[in-house]
Amino acid sequence: MQQENEEFAVLKFRDKEVNLPVIVGTEGEIAVDIQKLRSRTGLITYDPGYGNTGSCKSTITFINGEEGILRYRGYDIRELAEKASFTEVMYLIVFGKLPKESELKEFEHDLKENAMIHEDMKKFFEGFPANAHPMAVLSSMITALSTFHPIPDDPSHFRQDIINLLAKVKTIAAYSYKKSIGQPYIYPDPNLDYVGDFLNMMFKKSPNDPYKVNPVIEKALNKLLILHAEHEQNCSASTVRMVGSSKGNLYSAISAGVSALWGPLHGGANQAVIEMLEQIHADGDNIEKYVEMAKDPNSDFRLMGFGHRVYKNFDPRALILKQAADDILNELGLQDPLLDLAKRLEEVALNDEYFIKRRLYPNVDFYSGIIYRALGIPKEMFTVMFALGRLPGWIAQWKEMREDPDFRIHRPRQIYIGETERPFVPISQR
C-alpha cells in the first residue's frame, strides 16, 4: 500500500495559495494530488498526452524506465519469463497473487471448458472480406461476444466474464487467421496447454492433420505472451479504463483496448519493424543508407523497433527476447533474408556510437517481430498476438478500476482556444 505522508506541495498563483497533498508510492514515486485544485483555485493543469499525469493508483505493475525495471505484482519480469507459464502470469496479474497448485488447476480447467465460441459466431467471420485486417476482426468479435454472454453488470459475475475473455479470445484470434488464409477452423483441444492449444488452432491445417506442437516454439511464445501481458498506463490500458469508467461492460472496454493497440505507435510497432525490413531489402539490403537516414534530422525515415518512450536503458523485455530469438532461429534453421537483415541491423545499432549515446537499443517490438516472422505468423497478425498477450493486463486494469472505492467516470478537462461568442450570420450575408 502507499505510504502515509503529511507533506504538501504549495501552489501560489496571484493572491491565492493552496496546499496540495503529496502521495508517495511504495517504490518512492511522488505525486501531487490535484483533485481539489480547480475547486480551490479555479485552475486546471495542462499536460498533452498525460505524460506527467497519474490517472490512478495501481498495485499491478511497476516500471522504472531509467534502471530498466519491470515487475508484475512485485515479481521481476525476468523471473516470470524464465520460471512461470503464461496461465500462471494471467492469474497473477488478474487476481493479484501467484496461484497455488489447486487454484492453477481450477483456473486452467475453467479456461479449457470455456474455450469454444458459439457456433453462430462463425457466421460473423464469414461476413468479413478475406483481406480484413485481423485486428478489425478481433475488436468486432469481442464486442459480438458480449451478445452471447449477457451477464449482469455485477461484481459477483466478473469472474465469469474474465474467464470467457481469456478462454475465447485465443480462439477468436486463431479463427481470424484461418479465415484470412481460407483454411478450416480448428476447435480448441482440451488436452493441450493454453499456448500449445493456440499454436494448434493456428497451424493445424485440417482436423485430420497430424500437427505436433514444437516445444521450443511453445516456450518462446509463452515468453512473448508473458512479456506483453502488462505495461502500466499505456495508451490501450488507459483506453480500457476510460471506456470502463462509464460502467461499460468488460467486453466493450477490451474491444476498445484492441482498437487502441492497433496503431503503429503502440502495438502495431512490431508489424512496422517487418515493413521497414522489407523496405530496406527491396533497396538492395543497403543498411548503411538507412542508418544514415535515421541519423539525419532532416529525414522522415526512422528505424522502427529501436528506443522506447519509457525505458531510458535497455528494455528488460528485449534482453529476454534477444535470447529467445536466437534460440528460435537456431532451432528452425531458417533461411530468410529479412531475418538475416534484422540481425545485421541489430549488430549495427548495438555498436554504433550514435545509437549507444542516445540509448536507442533494440526494443521488445524489434525482437517480437523477428520471432513472429520466424514462427510463420503473418505480419498482419503480429498485433493480434500482442493483444492476446496484453489481454490479462487490460482485464486487471478494468477490474482494479471497478473495485476502486474512489471509482468515478473519466472526464478530462481542456483549454479552450477557439472563437469567443459571436452572432450567427445568415447564409445570404456570409
The residues annotated as belonging to the active site are: 308, 365
Question: Whose CA is closest to 388, among 149, 158, 115, 113?
Answer: 115
Question: C-alpha grid cell for residue 248?
Answer: 461499460
Specify whether the CB–CB gap between 35 and 53 falls below 8 A: no
Distance (Å, whole) CA 159 – CA 142: 17
Distance (Å, whole) CA 176 – CA 156: 31
Interstrand relation of 30-32 and 61-64 (parallel, antiparallel or unpaired): unpaired
Question: C-alpha grid cell for residue 187?
Answer: 476447435
Distance (Å, whole) CA 306 – CA 292: 15
Specify whether the CB–CB gap between 390 and 261 falls below 8 A: yes
Specify whether the CB–CB gap between 392 and 162 falls below 8 A: no
**Looking at residue 26, what DSSP letter applies?**
T
* Strand order, beta sheet including 69-72: 61-64, 69-72, 75-76
Q: Sign of the CA dihedral 262, 264, 267, 271? A: positive
Interstrand relation of 61-64 and 8-13 (parallel, antiparallel or unpaired): unpaired
Interstrand relation of 30-32 and 69-72 (parallel, antiparallel or unpaired): unpaired
Question: C-alpha grid cell for residue 368?
Answer: 517480437
Helices and strands in the chain: count of H runs, count of E runs:
18, 6
Region of 288 (left: φ > 0; alpha: ψ -120 to 50; beta: rest) is alpha
What are the C-alpha distances in Å from 131 to residues 22, 126, 184? Answer: 52, 12, 16
Question: C-alpha grid cell for residue 85?
Answer: 507459464
Question: C-alpha grid cell for residue 342?
Answer: 534484422
Residue 285, amino acid: D
